[in-house]
Structure 1
């Protein structure tokens, strides 16, 4: 049995087996075996990639996003509109043969956008240029899944390829620790409402020949797939959203039908755009900025006016310590206190410490010992 046949056989058996307590161990074992086979195939494809010209891109700016789509979906046109980069465009497939970077400046943020060769079905297993492309996608801070109004099914294929490549979109990394030991079998500890017993975990780990380990699962609604991902240890958790291009080529009613179909299938509103005409590109830029979790911090040198022209771009949840490290590593060692004007404090000019979380629009003064 070839690789494709073995994968299909396992997927069919999982799909046709009703999940209950009696079958949970069997299903868990099948899922773990399937994940191992796919992961081995992807790893072999990655190793054989060779890192050809154009596929090693140094990350720059405040964040990096990758445009993921089928060939000729309009990625190059979109990149050119957003950044002014020179990515060749043409009305035939596989125009982009290398990774083309561009820089978009928006709301004070410098955002690197990568136009990659189009993904096709089987890309995760190395078909087409998939092996090189997937390697680039795994380094992104955000994925824009770009479809077009004529081929909505492509979005399904792209989602599947990203999943097979170990990329989990719009999902927090499960809090699961698997620590191998030399004896004692599998020992399971849980914190939260975990509806999974030790036999299921034991069956999953056995597929990777893990017979002795301490397993700690924290959180609620943890699934077998989460445990399998923790066992593999190489999953990437990346935010993503769907955008549908070429809306200028269909009627208003057809556009609404596409939009409603995407909403019903994926539970989110796709961003409907036309890279050619520029329709809704500002909405797309807003989504990129928001999904990257950017906030703007304005620095005020001690005794001087705040610089309101060039904000420091940070991520939601950043602390004063993160701000100090961005300025210079010595600022942490020499830190005395910070003063803040803004929504993260109860009153202006409030003194705060290193662990204080900043908010969008805060004005910050760092006071050091020297």
Structure 2
């Protein structure tokens, strides 16, 4: 059998084998074997396809999002609506042959949006210039999965292609450490209510010829798939959401049917838009902003008024140290303290250190030694 037949056979066996204590090792080995075959096919596709002109795009702005969808789903029209970029549009497939960047300014943030060639089934294995397209997607800060109301099933294909190319959407990176050793077999250390057992871990790692390693797993929801991903070591974890285009071309009843399908399939409400008519574009912009996790920080020079016109755009979880790095490379070395006005402190003008986490709309003064 060829590799594609091997993949289908393994997937069928996993699907038809009931998971229990007696079968867990066997299923784990199958999942590890399947991941290795798929990764080998992706690497073979990467080596066999040369680079494409226009597929190397320098990231800019406060965040980068990629529009992912089938050909002719309306990505170029949406890019033009969001950014004013002049991406060629047409009613035929593969209008976009290179990556077209645009810049959306929203709530003080400068957000780079990339219109990429449409993905098709088999893109993860290199079909339809999939190798170059996937490479761009893997560098994104956010993925907008764009479907249309007439082909909602395409979303399923896109999800599978992203998964097969090593992209994990809307899930945190599992806290798993695998450190190869010179002997001693597989030693498993667990923190929390980890359900994976030593024999499962040993079976999965053995499929990749890892016979000696110290394995540390933290967390209660770690699965066999998470361990396989950690073993492969090339997974990317990116937030994403679904938008469905061309809703102006169907009835309200049909629109609700598509929404219910997405809700049942993925447990989320898609954003229903019309790029051509501009329907729900502001809702889409809000979703982009929220999923990127921005916070607006207003800088107040010492002894002066705060600049409330142009916020510094940071990500949730950013610290005073992160702000100092943005201001000047010497600010961390010369740092004395910072003053905060806002929700991240108990009282205004509170003095904080480098590790203090800021929140949206905080006003910050950084005081240095010089």
Which residue matches 2:88? Answer: 88
Task: Quote how far apart the aligned CAs of 1:277 are.
Answer: 0.3
CA–CA distance in structure 2, aligned partners of residues 234 and 5 of structure 1: 24
CA–CA distance in structure 2, aligned partners of residues 73 and 20 of structure 1: 42
CA–CA distance in structure 2, aligned partners of residues 105 and 48 of structure 1: 39
Classify the secondary structure of the residue corresponding to 1:129. helix
Decide whether the 8 Å contact of 1:46 with 1:135 is kept in 2: no
**Deviation sequence 1:91-150 (CA, Å, 0-9, x none):** 000000001000100000000000000000010011111111000000000000000001
Classify the secondary structure of the residue corresponding to 1:263. helix
Which residue matches 1:166? Answer: 166
Which residue matches 2:42? Answer: 42
**Deviation sequence 1:322-361 (CA, Å, 0-9, x none):** 1001111210000000011111111111111111110100
Which residue matches 2:304? Answer: 304
What is the TM-score when the length of structure 2 is the normalising length?
Answer: 0.99
Structure 2: segments with no counterpart, 5+ residues: none
CA–CA distance in structure 1, aligned partners of residues 142 and 44 of structure 2: 25
Which residue matches 1:146? Answer: 146
Decide whether the 8 Å contact of 1:64 with 1:113 is kept in 2: yes
CA–CA distance in structure 1, aligned partners of residues 47 and 364 of structure 2: 46
Task: Quote how far apart the aligned CAs of 1:162 are.
Answer: 0.3
Task: Quote how far apart the aligned CAs of 1:196 are.
Answer: 1.2
Size of the alignment, in residue pairs?
370
For 1:334-353, list aligned pairs within 5 A: 334-353=334-353
Task: Quote how far apart the aligned CAs of 1:261 are.
Answer: 1.3
**Deviation sequence 1:16-64 (CA, Å, 0-9, x none):** 1111111100000000000000011111222333221011110000000
Classify the secondary structure of the residue corresponding to 1:19. coil
Which residue matches 2:279? Answer: 279
Decide whether the 8 Å contact of 1:32 with 1:204 is kept in 2: yes
Classify the secondary structure of the residue corresponding to 1:330. coil
What is the TM-score when the length of structure 1 is the normalising length?
Answer: 0.99
For 1:179-328, list aligned pairs within 5 A: 179-328=179-328
Which residue matches 1:108? Answer: 108
CA–CA distance in structure 1, aligned partners of residues 102 and 343 of structure 2: 34
CA–CA distance in structure 1, aligned partners of residues 50 and 339 of structure 2: 51
Classify the secondary structure of the residue corresponding to 1:333. coil
Structure 1: segments with no counterpart, 5+ residues: none
CA–CA distance in structure 1, aligned partners of residues 347 and 15 of structure 2: 57
Please, what is the CA RMSD of the aligned residues? 0.7
Task: Quote how far apart the aligned CAs of 1:265 are.
Answer: 1.1
CA–CA distance in structure 1, aligned partners of residues 328 and 146 of structure 2: 38
Task: Quote how far apart the aligned CAs of 1:256 are.
Answer: 1.0
Which residue matches 1:117? Answer: 117
CA–CA distance in structure 2, aligned partners of residues 277 and 57 of structure 1: 29
CA–CA distance in structure 2, aligned partners of residues 46 and 366 of structure 1: 47
Classify the secondary structure of the residue corresponding to 1:97. coil
CA–CA distance in structure 1, aligned partners of residues 314 and 124 of structure 2: 32
